[in-house]
A = this chain, B = another copy of it.
């Protein structure tokens, strides 16, 4: 049987925990891998836990009881959050991002794997306490962000669609009114997308009036589940009132032409 040094166990345990955020690993799982006693593994975990706290690399949480074990909760440090905000402000103020009609080009940012990983962790942090069963988004640009949030929370992702394809199987669909122009649109969900009575966290990349979010809420309702949280990356400043009121947005953005430049307000640092 292999014998492992403390150093080695610590490296391996860290890899396993960091690779699967919010997933509970039993002590037995590690005692088996390393042929070590529970008390040895517990000591290893204390070391990992302490250094993660000291270096702000996230939280190692111990769960006691029958379903007990240990898990890694990614937490983005305040310094890192400030850095994210600064970078984003610089990016968004670039002239080349401005699109006629008061829009901003955001696709490259929304599809940046490391960036959405960090943002996913920030959203997850906000909703850890809510016992989320599913993360839901609607295609297309919010998918990476929603996927990373789901990954950080260790729950499945469900994607609602604007079209209905042959390989979607039986679907539920609703009509919803776009908040900006009142135009009627359709949104589809696989009929068996989630267990009835689930807690749903809605994640989307951009909110103007909130019509799309309202549509998602209706569709979750049709699936007999409950929206327990709404997270939006960019919320646009509007003259009129939003259709949704209880949501968490990371940035307020004002790309209106009159001001000549984009202004961004961050809600990350509280």
A64 CA / B130 CA spacing, docked (Å): 47
Q: Within 8 Å of chain B (Cβ to Cβ): is A241?
A: no
Can you list 7 contacts pairing A with B, beta carbon distance less than 8 Å? A7-B10, A8-B51, A14-B14, A15-B57, A113-B148, A113-B157, A139-B140
Task: Count contacts on A: residues with CB < 8 A to the other chain.
Answer: 63
A150 CA / B51 CA spacing, docked (Å): 30
The minimal Cβ–Cβ distance linking A112 to chain B, given in whole angstroms, is 6
B8 in contact with A50 (CB, 8 Å): yes
| Pick from B8, B106, B107, B206: contact of A47, CB under 8 Å | B8
B168 in contact with A107 (CB, 8 Å): yes
The minimal Cβ–Cβ distance linking A113 to chain B, given in whole angstroms, is 4
A10 in contact with B12 (CB, 8 Å): no
Say yes or no: A18-B14 contact (C-beta < 8 A), given A104-B167, A166-B103.
yes
A52 in contact with B99 (CB, 8 Å): no
Which residues of A from 158 to 185 have beta carbons under 8 Å from B?
158-159, 161, 166-169
Flag A104-139 by CB within 8 Å of B: 1 or 0 each.
Answer: 111110011110110000000000000000000001
Q: Which of A47, A161, A167, A206 has the most CB of B within 10 A?
A: A167
A111 in contact with B15 (CB, 8 Å): no
| Pick from B10, B111, B169: contact of A147, CB under 8 Å | B111
Closest 9 CB pairs of A and B: A113-B151, A14-B14, A8-B51, A103-B167, A111-B157, A18-B18, A105-B169, A139-B140, A99-B169
B166 in contact with A105 (CB, 8 Å): no
| Pick from B11, B108, B156: contact of A112, CB under 8 Å | B156
A11 in contact with B99 (CB, 8 Å): no
A33 CA / B56 CA spacing, docked (Å): 12
Which residues of A from 1 to 56 have beta carbons under 8 Å from B?
2, 4, 6-8, 10-12, 14-16, 18-20, 23, 33, 47-48, 50-52, 54-55
Q: Within 8 Å of chain B (Cβ to Cβ): is A58?
A: yes
Chain B residue numbers with a CB within 8 Å of A2 are 54
B105 in contact with A167 (CB, 8 Å): yes
A192 CA / B47 CA spacing, docked (Å): 47
Chain B residue numbers with a CB within 8 Å of A65 are none
A227 CA / B105 CA spacing, docked (Å): 25
Q: Within 8 Å of chain B (Cβ to Cβ): is A210?
A: no
Q: Within 8 Å of chain B (Cβ to Cβ): is A69?
A: no
Chain B residue numbers with a CB within 8 Å of A154 are 113-114
